[in-house]
Structure 1
Amino acid sequence: MQNQEHINHLKNLVQSLLDEAKKQGATAAEAGLSQEDGLSVSARLGEVETIEHHCDQGLGITVYFGQRKGSASTSDLSPESIKETVSAACSIARYTSEDSFAGLPDPELLATEFPDLDVNHPWGIHADEAIAIAIECENAARAYHADISNSEGATVNTHQGIRVLGNSLGFLQGYQSTRHSLSCSVLAQRGDSMQRDYWFTVARNAADLESANDVGIKAAERTLRRLEARRLPTQQCPVLFSAEIATSLLGSLIGAISGGALYRKSSFLLDALDTPIFPDFVHVYEQPHLRGALGSGNYDGEGVATQTRDLVSDGILRSYVLASYSARKLGLKSTGNAGGVRNLTITPGALDFQALVQHMHTGLLVTELMGQGVNNVTGDYSRGAAGFWVENGVIQFPVEEITIAGNLKEMFKQIVAIGSDVDYRGNIRTGSILVEKMSVAGE
């Protein structure tokens, strides 16, 4: 899609935005521009269902008149539109009230080194090739077992984008990135029992995707194992969060130590810095410079340099997750997290998934969560769940229509083990997580 010449052209556009802002009286400005294109193909029951070509672009500018701030955006990149967009942002800024914490990031924190992170691998796939992959994937799932009765289809996505960021402090950078995925979802029926499940694979480089056959078979296996699910009696027991579900626990951690929640005093981890919040074997850290990973980046949404850093070590909370505004509100420095964390990782333990199930001995394995029952202020946790009942270290039967409940403060401290079965398909990297005890509400 783009080469270095095109990136330079987009950089020039961003610079023209910044120049125009200065011309219109802004004391400082930052601007971002993105262009994206992609292909999405889905097939169901062996037939093409949708073919979508995506092509989007947009730019946004934020201007400052002292401590007054205004923002505007447009998808029109013409010189006239750029001028109008800057004018709109300036008009807003002139009428907003002053905010002593507003402004560009601290200049000394801006990124100055930009190594290649290997995140750009265009996939020159045509629609007919993508259709063939989707159909192969779905066919593998449908042919796997006679109980696979229907399908929600298989989808192939390929996406390539370019983002350029600049500010009046002299920062001006751009990079290209890609993201490709393949997913499949099927239904199974046995008697009166009907279930659905899915599987997906995602990568920067299409060569790193799981095969269409493997994705289809995993989707089928996951669906079949849920048939004839039962409810459980209400009880307290150990709970093992499978790796793809355990990411949500770390997501709750990040929500609680993010600047916005902290300065609004709406976090269950308020004033928890430098105190133990996990057992001492827990290590949580960011790895923003991993080559080829889905969350990698040299700088955050403000141009602040990202860095490999500990959020939790020896179970102790070592750092918050801050952008410039929230950092100033808290009297601290930005941690390079405007736009979130990057490749958040919890160090895996020695036990693989099977060994974790055996270690739990008797309890609940959770493979799906439903609902939004997490209170970020109190840490109270209550979510619908499905999974499997385990006895004597062996999975006995599938479980559905239950609720698991606890408090995240206690759940974090009651983590018994973290599996070696790390899920790499996202920005949060964790193995399965075993919690010593939670309430399970069923029959």
Structure 2
Amino acid sequence: MTDPAALPSPERLERCAQLALDAARAGGATQAEAGASASRGLSVSVRKAEVESLEFQQDRNVGVTVYLGRRKGSASTGDLSDAGIREAVAAALAIARATGEDPCNGLADAELMARDFPELDLDHPWDLGADQAIDLAAACEAAAFAADARVTGSEGASVASHRGVSIYANSHGFVGHRSGTQHSLSCAVVASAGDEMQRDYWYSSARSPADLMDVRAIGRKAGLRAAARLGARKLGTCTAPVLLPPELARGFWGHLIGAISGGALYRKASFLLDQLDRPVCASCVTLLQRPHLRRGAGSAAYDHEGVATRDRTLVEDGVLRGWLLGSYSARKLGLQTTGNAGGVFNLLVQPGVDDFDALLRRMGRGLLVTELLGHGVNLVTGDYSRGAAGFWVEDGAIAHPVQELTIAGNLAQMLKEIVAVGSDVDPLANVRTGSVLLERMTIAGH
């Protein structure tokens, strides 16, 4: 399924991108950038031992952005023929002529383009046929049912494999090639006891199929997690410590990343405005960008504008050391791009020494959150309020499941009240973090 021969060659895609640049230049563009990409994938979902979905996906695309001075226009097409590409360029030029000037428009500076392209080991095609994928999903689901007799329902087990190739080129003469794979396994099941039903899941995602968690282990973990939630109670309103496991801590750090990103900063829509070189987190927190990790989920030699990516320290011992900027947001702020057009590339949260069980003991009494609901996060003010479920902890051990809760606080305070980051890091994620123990949050029962 993921045979590299099934995708257009990098040379073919580069020719498409160069054709777009040539057409833009001939049409009067002062600057231009083009991307050509192709991807192919297979995804299968099995529910109650029956195939629920089987999808083959294949996409091809050329996108072009042109600049007429400081006027900008963009267009894309799935037609990789010469005529289709020229038509897309003509559309981009027409859009640019119809738009107003923005002094911050334009390519990133030529001297910032990437020149070194380290081998990042991102491309691991999986010779996976539909029948094999179905068998893997069925085995995953079967393991979930076998994990506990109370697992009685399923929302499905899924297997997915995708491979993509892309080219980015611009009128500075920069050309960058990328190819990579992403594979995943997941399972979600329902446990029941009497009239009560509880749902939970587990998953694994990796660049290489060899790095995926065993399908039966995924199913078993999903089943045990669902069964463990049976007998969930409600809580009265209180203030207590909260522990976020790695799969939820990634989203927590995502709020910080959003608040130090260029778009939020120049719009003045961040609770961390004017906080550069000031303490914004507890002193135990250090955040690093490492874009060149082999097989990294977020590894890249260059950002979405061709700018070289580099190792960066974003937060050092709690102190904010850098923003995440592309060229447009940097110009709006009177700064230079940091090579982060497209976001952060492999965020590493420096782990502490405590594993998950040690963090439970350190918390003593509080809430272990295993599910968050809703989107009640305001990056302008930092206000945080989300529905939650999980387990109540007493004397450093899980006591019983809880549900129908709301946890609330303010991100500015929450970041400064991080007690510890665990050593239980998932090394395959774009945000590599251990569990995060927060000193206190308001926990409201419904």
TM-score normalised to the size of structure 2?
0.98
The one of 222, 225, 240 aligned to 1:222:
225
Query: What displacement does 1:196 show?
Result: 0.6
Query: What displacement does 1:175 show?
Result: 1.6
**Aligned equivalent of 2:382:** 379
> Contact 2:158–2:185 at 8 Å: present in 1 too?
yes
**Aligned equivalent of 1:163:** 166
Comparing 83-92 and 347-356, the one that deviates more = 83-92
Task: Kindly provide the CA deviation profile for residues 102-121 of structure 1, in whole angstroms up to 9, marking residues without a partner as x.
Answer: 00001111100111100000
Q: Distance in 2 between matches of 1:2 and 1:11?
A: 16
Matches within 5 A, 1:39-438: 39-438=42-441
Q: Distance in 2 between matches of 1:291 and 1:270?
A: 34
Q: Distance in 1 between matches of 2:260 and 2:343?
A: 11
Query: What displacement does 1:414 show?
Result: 0.3
> Contact 2:35–2:167 at 8 Å: present in 1 too?
yes
Task: Kindly provide the CA deviation profile for residues 78-124 of structure 1, in whole angstroms up to 9, marking residues without a partner as x.
Answer: 11111111111111111211111100001111100111100000001
> Contact 2:37–2:167 at 8 Å: present in 1 too?
yes
Q: Distance in 1 between matches of 2:405 and 2:309?
A: 41
> Contact 2:16–2:62 at 8 Å: present in 1 too?
no
Q: Distance in 2 between matches of 1:401 and 1:102?
A: 47
Give the letter aligned to residue 86 of structure 2.
Answer: K
Q: Distance in 2 between matches of 1:5 and 1:162?
A: 8
Give the letter aligned to residue 150 of structure 2.
Answer: D
Task: Kindly provide the CA deviation profile for residues 277-318 of structure 1, in whole angstroms up to 9, marking residues without a partner as x.
Answer: 012221001111000011111011111111111000021000
Query: What displacement does 1:182 show?
Result: 0.6
Q: 1:2 to 1:213 in 2, by over 3 A?
A: closer
Secondary structure in 1 matching 2:104: coil
Task: Kindly provide the CA deviation profile for residues 25-80 of structure 1, in whole angstroms up to 9, marking residues without a partner as x.
Answer: 10110001110100011111112221110001111100001111111111101111
Give the letter aligned to residue 136 of structure 1.
Answer: A
Query: What displacement does 1:5 show?
Result: 8.5
Query: What displacement does 1:2 show?
Result: 3.7
Secondary structure in 2 matching 1:143: helix
Q: Distance in 1 between matches of 2:445 and 2:12?
A: 60
Give the letter aligned to residue 357 of structure 1.
Answer: L
Q: Distance in 2 between matches of 1:104 and 1:343?
A: 24
Task: Kindly provide the CA deviation profile for residues 170-212 of structure 1, in whole angstroms up to 9, marking residues without a partner as x.
Answer: 0011121000011011110012221010000111100111111
Give the letter aligned to residue 145 of structure 2.
Answer: R
Q: Distance in 1 between matches of 2:377 and 2:426?
A: 23
Q: 1:411 to 1:112 in 2, by over 3 A?
A: same
Secondary structure in 1 matching 2:102: coil
Task: Kindly provide the CA deviation profile for residues 215-248 of structure 1, in whole angstroms up to 9, marking residues without a partner as x.
Answer: 1101011111111101111011111111111111
Give the letter aligned to residue 241 of structure 1.
Answer: L
Query: What displacement does 1:424 show?
Result: 3.2
Q: Distance in 2 between matches of 1:272 and 1:178?
A: 37
Q: 1:5 to 1:75 in 2, by over 3 A?
A: closer
Q: Distance in 2 between matches of 1:58 and 1:70?
A: 17
> Contact 2:8–2:38 at 8 Å: present in 1 too?
no
Q: Distance in 2 between matches of 1:278 and 1:20?
A: 49
Q: Distance in 2 between matches of 1:138 and 1:337?
A: 39
Secondary structure in 1 matching 2:247: helix
Task: Kindly provide the CA deviation profile for residues 367-386 of structure 1, in whole angstroms up to 9, marking residues without a partner as x.
Answer: 11100000110000000000
Q: Distance in 1 between matches of 2:8 and 2:184?
A: 28
Secondary structure in 1 matching 2:441: strand
Q: Distance in 2 between matches of 1:280 and 1:156?
A: 41
Secondary structure in 2 matching 1:288: coil
Q: Distance in 2 between matches of 1:424 and 1:53?
A: 29
Give the letter aligned to residue 33 of structure 1.
Answer: A
> Contact 2:284–2:419 at 8 Å: present in 1 too?
no
TM-score normalised to the size of structure 1?
0.98
